[in-house]
Structure 1
Amino acid sequence: MVATATATASLNKFEKIKSEKDGLAVKAQLEDFAKIGWEAMEEGDRDYRLKWLGIFFRPVTPGKFMLRLRLPHGIINADQMRVLAEIVQRYGSDGNADITTRQNLQLRGIRLEDIPEIFRLLKAVGLTSVQSGMDNVRNITGSPVAGIDADELFDTRELVQQVQDMITNKGEGNPEFTNLPRKFNIAIAGCRDNSVHAEINDIAFIPAFSGESFGFNVIVGGFFSAKRCDAAIPLNAWVTPEEVVPLCRAILEVFRDNGLRANRQKARLMWLIDEWGIEKFRSEVEKQLGKTLKEAAAKDEIIWEKCDRIGVYRQKQPGFNYVGLHIPVGRLFAQDMLEIARIADVYGKGEIRLTVEQNIIIPHINDACLAAFLSESIIKKFAINPTPLTRALVSCTGAEFCNFALIETKNRAVELMQELETELTLKKPVRIHWTGCPNSCGQPQVADIGLMGTKVRKNGQTLEGVDIYMGGKVGKDAQLGTCIRKSVPCEDLKPVLRELLIKHFDAEINSEFSN
């Protein structure tokens, strides 16, 4: 573990908070917090340590917390979804859930006095929110069609669950991994289309064959932050599926014990790799692992363009289908969640899957039931054939609920795309990602067009605006985009986007708007 001899006075604010009390310690205090209320809580507990349990104090909505779950692989069942719907339903207009870009759900409007009961409800259906915030490993992602896609190379669901169980002690909390230098992302891909956005993870396992044997090439260090964004780089290592969990543990232990902690802006894994060099980093991981890693396979198997999985698809299981529903910017309300749980039960096997594009997949729909499924009224709201700009739209939470966001994103994003689609005809989807601040939760750097919130000056006033990114690519030959224009006021954004869509994505102006 990290040495504790450093004088507390020399630690930055966050390291000082962690040195005073482990984040998991507040788990035993939840009943007391519920009784005294959020205003009477010690700041370190309320604003920071609660995040170790997935509970986020939001100054923009005082008294109303966000609860971030852990949903490994983005898989949930209908009973669990109903419980989550009932939780947010009690909060009326304040209650909703957002699908995140890590196949996860965040519940909004939560009151602190309800947390003990909410945690009891979650535990009863096998859900946890432990270690989902601050300096912990975040939700572990995998292909949203693992186990049902006929073209997959490896079903990663069990591996993802094993990694989660190792990190979180099967959802109970694991102090071994609650004091990382900074947050950490892991993705495990068993498909050929890079549905996990491997290159933006601290560790990503990419399918590859070494001779006739299946395994994974490993890349490390990918991340987004306000200070720097970098794609992951090869570790020059190939591992079998059985070696994935031990390697994750070894890398996390090396990062935990050696990662840079003085400056939080330089505390992600890539900064340690920069300081050591990839060869030393690999060597230290091997020492921790207790074995020499096999060199990477000559090529990996991510050879397809990205598929968003919206629409109707045949499963590998004969006679069954999975259907991808488009959820505009990932926003769900209680009634939506109850309806999704119902149709998953009635037409499928009660399983629901989330995607990194903030959409939902319902698998295991029998051929005989497919027409009836597609006639359900909820399918009109959450379409299987959305329009091109709406289809590929992604957005972070924005200023409505997040105190870091500099602009409002979700509602603005939906409205602006709808306006542009009345004026333009597009031949194919264009991936437009919105993020409210440089923390890049909306991942603008992987989009065809990325919009990052900022404050701009116009006519002597401070307004909401965006920096514009272009050139991000997912799937094979993935790459990060770059900023092409800064400080565009949101009120002036529509004509700028219209011009970009016409010039770079072959959009055509509809006749009624041509003059």
Structure 2
Amino acid sequence: MTDLATTTTTSLNKFEKFKAQKDGLAVKAEIEKFASVGWEAMDETDRDHRLKWVGVFFRPVTPGKFMMRMRIPNGILSCEQMRVLAEVIQRYGDDGNADLTTRQNIQLRGIRIEDLPEIFKKLRAVDLTSVQSGMDNVRNITGDPVAGLDADELFDTRELVQQIQNMITSQGEGNPEFTNLPRKFNIAITGGRDNSVHAEINDLAFVPAFKEVEGARISEQGAEEEMTFSSPIFGFNVIVGGFFSAKRCEAAVPLNVWVPPEDVVALCRAVLEVFRDHGLRANRQKARLMWLIDEWGLEKFRAEVEKQFGKSLIRAAARDEIDWEKRDHVGVYKQKQPGLNYVGLHIPVGRLFAEDMFEIARLAEVYGSGEIRLTVEQNLIIPNIADSLLESLLTEPVLNKFSINPTLLTRSLVSCTGAQFCNFALIETKNRALETVKALEAEVELTRPVRIHWTGCPNSCGQPQVADIGLMGTKVRKNGKTLEGVDIYMGGKVGKEAQLGTCVTKGIPCEDLIPVLQELLISHFGARLREPATV
């Protein structure tokens, strides 16, 4: 591992300097002290940066009210866990809410530093953790939202995702091996056919593929062993380097590696160790994995990973099994288990309040098995609903708010946090996104969903590059005034043959946006103007 203590501090940027002085995870032992002295008396580096290693984020736009980011591997949690999260934000009144994220995760808002010891106690009691969920750590690990439910899946991702989480975080307690990466790192595993995790935007992703593996392979002991299979066996092709940042956005590229499921965790470790020990650290804007791949070349990177892996890597399968269009899982669907269904609820821009979370937990417990699943579209799924209970569930009043059949623009709407709570955002997003879609749906009719993604700044948390229409917040000048505006992206595609969109128009004031979007919907997506109402 790179020893930053031996590196001259003058060669380090400010983030590497404070990481060299004190590991971020060290603040885990200081939570009681922070709660006692209060946020204003804390060391600024601890408050503004190191707290992120335990998932707590200082937000200058809401001083004294912190955000807490959980780790929800594969987006799966129990009704009991959901209730605890609801209890945490319930005490903060209007300031307390939760956001579902584009990584199948939950962020809690309104948190006060003096409550952290009790909050962490509550989380531990139901096996929840927020450790290593921010800064230079591996973020929430995504997997198929209908893993184990989908009759057409090729592999159930749940156990693998949990094993990777356990390896990286030492069973949720925090693992110093992986608390000092050059920058953040995203991992995704998909076992279905529709790329429900958006594999291409992750630093490391595993996509299903069948491979005929014959001939010699180097064993862990260094000896050749014969492996001959009469038919293709299941595993994963590996892609690397996908990321969004203010400076650059890239889709992941093939590593030319195939691994069976039993090697996935070890390969994750090897890639992370190579990134940790050799990733670029001088310039924060060039510290993601793709920059190292650019500097080394893909072959050298692959060779270093193979060396760390400890045995020879198998070349990638000729093709992967991503051959379906992307599903959003909103609605009612049969499970592979006879007599059971899963129901996908649309959560407008992913925003939940305590009463919503209690109600969702109740639905999961009364009608299902007590399990709740999150999706990368900021929606949620209640699985394991018996045929005999389905009709009753669909009459529940909360489904008027969280619809199973939302309108076509609303259905695919995604938004980042926006300026209401995020100091990086240049514009407000969530509320504006809902208002804009409502106005558009009053003016135009569509025949299919159109995916509109909002992000408040170039960090692209709302992922506008994967959308049909992506809107990135910016500041614009109009009539001598500075206003909130957007740059417009188009051409993003998810599912099979996924690709990133590109910026097509810059600097549209938000106050002028609705007619621009209306024209795009008509000219590119087959929308038509609604007929005027007759008197």
TM-score range, shorter chain: over 0.9
Partner of 2:273: 253
CA distance in 2, matches of 1:294, 1:442: 35
Matched, 1:243 2:263: yes
**What are the residue-to-residue correspondences of 1:474-493 with 2, within 5 Å?**
474-493=494-513
SS in 2 for 1:97: strand
Partner of 1:196: 197
CA deviations over 1:155-199 (Å, ceiling 9, x no partner): 010000000000000000000000000000000000000000000
CA deviations over 1:46-68 (Å, ceiling 9, x no partner): 00000000000000000000000
Q: What residue identity is the alignment partner of 1:16? A: K
SS in 2 for 1:293: coil
Matched, 1:223 2:243: yes
Unaligned runs of 5+ in 1: none
Shift of 1:142: 0.5
SS in 2 for 1:419: helix
CA distance in 1, matches of 2:485, 2:283: 28
Partner of 2:311: 291
CA deviations over 1:235-281 (Å, ceiling 9, x no partner): 00000000000000000000000000000000000000000000000
Q: What residue identity is the alignment partner of 2:297? A: G
Shift of 1:513: 8.3
Partner of 1:317: 337
Partner of 1:120: 121
Partner of 1:431: 451
Q: What residue identity is the alignment partner of 2:28? A: K
CA deviations over 1:477-505 (Å, ceiling 9, x no partner): 00000000001000000000000000000
Partner of 1:263: 283
CA distance in 1, matches of 2:454, 2:315: 38
Partner of 2:24: 23
Partner of 1:381: 401
Paired residues, what number?
A: 514
Q: What residue identity is the alignment partner of 1:291? A: K
SS in 2 for 1:180: coil
CA deviations over 1:278-314 (Å, ceiling 9, x no partner): 0000000000111110000000000000000000000
CA distance in 1, matches of 2:10, 2:20: 11
Q: Is the 8 A contact 1:423 1:513 kept in 2?
A: no
Partner of 1:100: 101
Matched, 1:171 2:181: no
Q: Runs of 4 or more off by more than 2 Å in structure 1?
A: none
CA distance in 2, matches of 1:173, 1:450: 36
Shift of 1:511: 1.1
CA distance in 1, matches of 2:445, 2:156: 38
SS in 2 for 1:361: strand
CA deviations over 1:319-373 (Å, ceiling 9, x no partner): 0000000000000000000000000000000000000000000000000000000
CA distance in 2, matches of 1:247, 1:288: 9
Matched, 1:67 2:87: no
Unaligned runs of 5+ in 2: 213-231
CA distance in 1, matches of 2:290, 2:391: 49
CA distance in 2, matches of 1:150, 1:192: 11
Q: Is the 8 A contact 1:77 1:350 kept in 2?
A: yes
Matched, 1:327 2:347: yes
CA distance in 2, matches of 1:238, 1:138: 23
Partner of 1:368: 388
Partner of 2:226: none
CA 229–513 in structure 1, closer or farther in 2 if over 3 Å, else same: farther
Shift of 1:9: 2.6
Q: What residue identity is the alignment partner of 1:446? A: V
CA distance in 1, matches of 2:181, 2:38: 29
Q: What residue identity is the alignment partner of 2:441? A: E
Q: Is the 8 A contact 1:97 1:106 kept in 2?
A: yes
Structure 2-normalised TM-score? 0.96
CA distance in 2, matches of 1:499, 1:512: 18
Q: What residue identity is the alignment partner of 2:450? A: V
Q: What residue identity is the alignment partner of 1:146? A: A
Q: What residue identity is the alignment partner of 1:204? A: A
SS in 1 for 2:168: helix
CA distance in 2, matches of 1:267, 1:414: 35
Partner of 1:3: 3
CA distance in 1, matches of 2:518, 2:532: 15
Percent identical among aligned pairs is 76
Q: Is the 8 A contact 1:102 1:139 kept in 2?
A: yes
SS in 2 for 1:457: strand
SS in 1 for 2:461: coil
CA distance in 2, matches of 1:59, 1:3: 32
CA distance in 1, matches of 2:452, 2:29: 43
CA distance in 1, matches of 2:328, 2:296: 37
Q: What residue identity is the alignment partner of 1:181? A: P
Structure 1-normalised TM-score? 0.99
CA distance in 2, matches of 1:511, 1:2: 66
SS in 2 for 1:106: strand
Q: What residue identity is the alignment partner of 1:3? A: D
Partner of 1:390: 410
CA distance in 2, matches of 1:154, 1:6: 44
Q: What residue identity is the alignment partner of 1:357? A: E
CA deviations over 1:427-466 (Å, ceiling 9, x no partner): 0000000000000000000000000000001111110000
Q: What residue identity is the alignment partner of 2:142? A: T
Shift of 1:7: 1.1
Q: What residue identity is the alignment partner of 1:137? A: V
CA distance in 2, matches of 1:425, 1:61: 39
CA distance in 1, matches of 2:368, 2:43: 47
